[in-house]
A and B are shown apart, each in its own frame.
Chain A
Amino acid sequence: MIQLFNVSKVYSNGVKALSDINLEIEKGEFLFIVGASGAGKSSFIKLLIRDEIPTKGQIMIGGRSILRLKRSEVPHLRRKIGVVFQDYRLLENRTVFENVSFALEVLQCPSWQIKPRALQVLQMVGLSSKCDAFPAQLSGGEQQRVAIARAIINTPRILVADEPTGNLDPDNSKEILKILYRINKLGTTVIVATHDQEMVDSIRKRVIALEKGRIVRDDLRGAYRCEA
């Protein structure tokens, strides 16, 4: 589903964020990218959604090179990949429901499809009762759940989350992980970049550890730290 060949990323200021990454991610996999701050987790995510372009190497998604996409094709790639950020990125002046349905409006979905689908994903993240609330009236965990609902409303095949629990306490983090796990069970490939050890250790899934931009470990049923 996702393949990276000899991918390196050097930023314009000379920082080597990723070096020589080779990786294959199967359809329906659940995957953690772990590593210390500055290891290159966010850079990895940015490459996947073509927010950044690798300096070297090739990235294939669904058998197609995402580097050869024309500018006008990038939005179609992004529709296949839902993204969740650490800082939620919700629109403050819109309600929960509007924030979520916004994603389908932007894609020009017919309105009769938008409402039921929005209600469905909000139920999935357990926020049916908060439809009319504004982001400022929600807890951090609830805001992150809204962000997840927005990311999955158009049923992307891949969901990437960059530190989705970075600002949350352990209970909320657990809740988020449960939701991500549930989404994965429905067939979506889920990639989570995190340094939340507790979250990684609580379910035994594939773990890829980055260190200074290199893959130093790739365990199929891994933990945050090397168990050797």
Chain B
Amino acid sequence: MRLRTVLYFMRQAFVSLSRNGWMSILSVATVAIALFIIGSFFLLVANANAIASQLESDVRIVAFVDVSVPREEVLEIREKISKDIDGVVDVQLVPKEEGLKKLGERFGENNNLITALGGKNPLPDYFIIRAEQPQEVKNIARAVDGIDQVEKVDYGGKVIERLFEILRWVRLLGWAAMVMLTGAAVFLISVTIRLTVYARHKEINIMKYIGATDWFISWPFFLEGMILGLIGAAIALGTLYFSYVSLIQNLTLTLNFIPFISDPVFLGRTLCWLLLLGVVVGALGSLISVRRYLKV
């Protein structure tokens, strides 16, 4: 494409952008809001996925022994678990005394927890069992749960199932939001572009009689749509990026065990996709209007 032509297209596009004033602003705002919400959903799902896969790869199982079971029996159970159940790498016993000590540390040193609890330790002994493979966790947990004296078994996968349940809904909601919001954005851009088409219909008509190609006639409109989409996307990206980064910074302070995604490559790629989506939305919106007018 010749530079002259490009400049001609650009000039046309910017003239129209400013002529459509409020409509341009409205469609930019719609694109921005749409992409911000879509991006938020995407980051939410991505983080949930990361948490899920971390939990999934967790090979630890925690098994609580009934409080009434005496220590000797507990040690026997430990032997049984490490010998009889396949795939177990090791079994670590956390005795109730240690559990209480840990609890005490949390409450502060001067606090006499035992006294407060009436001289008795209410905590159970528990095992931390490590599986060889993440895939074996579920079977091991089931086997351990089958032991009479074991009261409760917890492992990452159990949490995951609930998490996946929620995640499914979040994803569905995200898709619905994406379809509706991009639809709205495409519609508003197409309305804006139609204004431009009407404003320039005389010129378009003349161009057709002179023998301009549809391609030549349509370009300024595509460009206008894409610029609208691009500006909207840029606003959405900026807002999304800064709010996400500050949110993660705050959350990591309190929830430092959750692996929030802060990988710049991943974030950069996400933002690029959103930018592309903005441009596509813009091009699509103008395509609808231009096609209808040119009867392509």
A interface residue numbers (CB < 8 A to B): 49, 71-72, 75-79, 83, 89, 91, 102-103, 105-108, 110-111, 150, 154
Other 10 A-B pairs with CB < 8 A, given A89-B202, A91-B206, A108-B216 = A49-B209, A72-B214, A78-B210, A78-B211, A91-B202, A103-B210, A105-B4, A108-B5, A111-B4, A154-B211
Give the number of A-B contacts (CB < 8 Å). 47
Residues of chain A with a CB closer than 8 A to B210's CB: 78-79, 102-103, 106-107, 150, 154
Instruction: Name which of B209, B211, B214 has the most chain A CB atoms within 10 A of its CB.
Output: B211
A108 to B4, CA, bound (A): 9
Residues of chain A with a CB closer than 8 A to B203's CB: 91
B296 within 8 A of A: yes
A164 to B148, CA, bound (A): 104
Q: List 23 A-B contacts (CB under 8 A).
A: A49-B209, A71-B214, A71-B296, A75-B211, A75-B212, A75-B214, A76-B211, A77-B211, A78-B209, A78-B210, A78-B211, A89-B209, A91-B202, A91-B203, A102-B210, A103-B210, A106-B210, A106-B212, A106-B216, A107-B210, A107-B211, A108-B2, A108-B5
B interface residue numbers (CB < 8 A to A): 2, 4-5, 8, 202-203, 205-214, 216, 296
Instruction: Please tell me if the beta carbons of B208 and A78 are within 8 angstroms of each other in the complex.
Output: yes
A192 to B205, CA, bound (A): 21
Instruction: Please tell me if the beta carbons of A83 and B209 are within 8 angstroms of each other in the complex.
Output: yes
Q: Name A76's closest neighbour in chain B (CB-CB).
A: B211
Instruction: Name which of A72, A75, A111 has the most chain B CB atoms within 10 A of its CB.
Output: A75
A154 to B209, CA, bound (A): 13
B93 to A: closest C-beta gap in Å = 80
A152 to B: closest C-beta gap in Å = 11
A110 to B4, CA, bound (A): 9
- B2, B202, B207, B296: the one contacting A106 at CB < 8 Å is B207
Instruction: Please tell me if the beta carbons of B8 and A105 are within 8 angstroms of each other in the complex.
Output: yes
B171 to A: closest C-beta gap in Å = 42
Instruction: Please tell me if the beta carbons of B296 and A79 are within 8 angstroms of each other in the complex.
Output: no
Chain A binding surface SS class: helix
Q: Name A104's closest neighbour in chain B (CB-CB).
A: B210
- B2, B8, B206, B216: the one contacting A89 at CB < 8 Å is B206
Q: Name A94's closest neighbour in chain B (CB-CB).
A: B203
Residues of chain A with a CB closer than 8 A to B216's CB: 106, 108
Residues of chain A with a CB closer than 8 A to B5's CB: 108
Instruction: Please tell me if the beta carbons of A107 and B202 are within 8 angstroms of each other in the complex.
Output: no
Residues of chain A with a CB closer than 8 A to B205's CB: 89
A124 to B219, CA, bound (A): 33
A75 to B207, CA, bound (A): 9
Instruction: Name which of A49, A76, A78 has the most chain B CB atoms within 10 A of its CB.
Output: A78
Residues of chain B with a CB closer than 8 A to A83's CB: 209
A56 to B212, CA, bound (A): 27
Q: Name A106's closest neighbour in chain B (CB-CB).
A: B212
Instruction: Please tell me if the beta carbons of B213 and A72 are within 8 angstroms of each other in the complex.
Output: yes
A71 to B218, CA, bound (A): 15
A106 to B: closest C-beta gap in Å = 4
Closest 4 CB pairs of A and B: A78-B211, A79-B211, A106-B212, A75-B211
Instruction: Please tell me if the beta carbons of A75 and B213 are within 8 angstroms of each other in the complex.
Output: yes
Instruction: Please tell me if the beta carbons of B206 and A107 are within 8 angstroms of each other in the complex.
Output: no
B174 to A: closest C-beta gap in Å = 40
A188 to B: closest C-beta gap in Å = 16
A8 to B248, CA, bound (A): 73
A49 to B: closest C-beta gap in Å = 7
A83 to B205, CA, bound (A): 12
Q: Name A80's closest neighbour in chain B (CB-CB).
A: B211
A160 to B: closest C-beta gap in Å = 10
Residues of chain A with a CB closer than 8 A to B213's CB: 72, 75
A154 to B5, CA, bound (A): 18
Residues of chain B with a CB closer than 8 A to A77's CB: 211
A193 to B: closest C-beta gap in Å = 15
